Amino acid sequence: MRNLALEVSDIDPPARSMPACAEFGESLLLALRSRPRRIAPKFFYDEAGSALFEAICALDEYYLTRTEVSILRQHAAQIAHLIGLRAEIVEFGAGSGSKIRILLDALARPARYVPVDLSVAHLDHAARALVHDYPGLEVAPLAADFTRPLVLTTHQPAANRRVGVFLGSTIGNLSLEEAHEFLGRAAVLFRGGGLLVGVDLVKDPAVLHRAYNDAQGTTAAFNRNLLGRANRELDADFDLAGFRHYAFYEPLAQRIQMHLVSARQQTVHVCQEEFVFQEGESLHTENSRKYTVDGFRALARRAGLTPGPVWCDPKQWFSVHWLASPPRPTPASSGAR
């Protein structure tokens, strides 16, 4: 009997913690077991992480959000014209849903708005507010990971075409291969319509450095929240103060790299597994790639999209691209009998 009781209690803890160790747990364990240690940035965005990201967007140093918003405001009419009448708008990484309002205000009777985001809380909150503020607009939120192939529901019957919106230079958080894949899937998903993408541009490294190393330490808190999330969800015991936020720009690779660097030798546990961090050892948490206007257009073209107008701010710090996805050629127009 005693043995049996021991066995049961030995088995019990992992069984209880397994469901919580779902995708985030598996990815973090994989990251911690490999060298270099590196995890996908999508895991930043739990509720606390999403709130910290909103705070980043309001920082002085973080020019991206306000620059993109000013571009959208200034060119809303032309963008709305390209999107067209009664379009269905699918927004990736919709977040709090504040930017889409600029477009919704300019659009001619949008048929449906489909915000896609990982955070159900974000989606729910944003969808409620939009339904309230835009009577008659159909809002159909979709909790999904857009770094994977996406299944959309049937077309809204009254919609003329489907258009994608991908703002915030989130495309820069994907690797070149992932971005190419994403754009290729968008070309198929939005055939006959197009994709509107916000892309941060290559610039003075000092400006970039400031944007990812703000004086208040909000970006540092955002970065460390990944460890906090592991503590909350995965029974982990990271000492957040034992990891330093380290973000730097690589001009040759045209990207910011963001790391959490161990301040000392330490041992941590995640889902009952033990890991040692040497002093100076890092967990690579994110890349933020910067493009030139021409470099991004070339990438879009290789993925099967047709680059259209591009709008930038006067300093050329940020760009918004319209990428058309031409309709499938009809047999007649392609010359087949």
Rounded least distance, CB 290 to ligand TRP, Å:
9
Which CB contacts under 8 angstroms, 24+ apart, belong to 142-146? 142/114, 142/115, 142/116, 143/116, 143/117, 143/118, 143/119, 144/116, 144/117, 144/118, 145/42, 145/118, 146/92, 146/93, 146/116, 146/182
Amino acid identity at 24: F
Among residues 256, 270, 299, 305, the one that binds ligand TRP under rule CB under 6 A: 256
Residue 219 touching ligand TRP (CB under 6 A)? yes
CB atoms within 10 A of CB 327: 11
Rounded least distance, CB 229 to ligand TRP, Å:
16
- Distances from the Cα of 209 to the Cα of 19, 214, 244, angstroms: 39, 9, 16
Residue 198 touching ligand TRP (CB under 6 A)? no
Piece of the chain touching ligand TRP by CB under 6 A; list 76-84, 170-178, 230-238, 268-276 = 170-178
SS (H, E, C) 229-249: HHHHHCCCCCCHHHEEEEEEE
Residue 170 touching ligand TRP (CB under 6 A)? yes
Piece of the chain touching ligand TRP by CB under 6 A; list 166-174, 182-190, 261-269, 273-281 = 166-174
* DSSP element (H, E) containing 177: helix 176-189
Within residues 7-66, the interface with ligand TRP by CB under 6 A covers: 53, 56, 64
Residue whose CB is nearest to ligand TRP in the complex, by number:
288
Among residues 141, 172, 198, 307, the one that binds ligand TRP under rule CB under 6 A: 172
Rounded least distance, CB 264 to ligand TRP, Å:
24
Q: Which of residues 42 and 161 has its CB atom nearest to ligand TRP in the complex? A: 42
CB atoms within 10 A of CB 334: 8
Rounded least distance, CB 64 to ligand TRP, Å:
6
Q: DSSP of 193-240, one letter per residue?
A: SEEEEEEEB---HHHHHHHTS-TT-HHHHHHHHHHHHHHHHS-----G
Residue 258 touching ligand TRP (CB under 6 A)? yes
Among residues 212, 243, 275, 296, the one that binds ligand TRP under rule CB under 6 A: 212
List, in sequence order, every residue forming a beta bridge with 161; answer none if it has no partner. 87
Quote the CA–CA distance of 169 and 66 in Å, as a whole number.
12
Within residues 270-289, the interface with ligand TRP by CB under 6 A covers: 286, 288
Question: How many of the chain's residues bind ligand TRP (CB under 6 A)?
Answer: 15
Residue 179 touching ligand TRP (CB under 6 A)? no
Q: Is 86 exposed, middle or buried (0-12, 13-18, 19+ CB in 10 A)?
A: middle
Residue 197 touching ligand TRP (CB under 6 A)? no
Tokens 């890092």: give the residue: 282
Among residues 119, 169, 254, 325, the one that binds ligand TRP under rule CB under 6 A: 169
Within residues 286-315, the interface with ligand TRP by CB under 6 A covers: 286, 288
Residues binding ligand TRP (CB under 6 A) = 53, 56, 64, 168-170, 172-173, 212, 219, 247, 256, 258, 286, 288
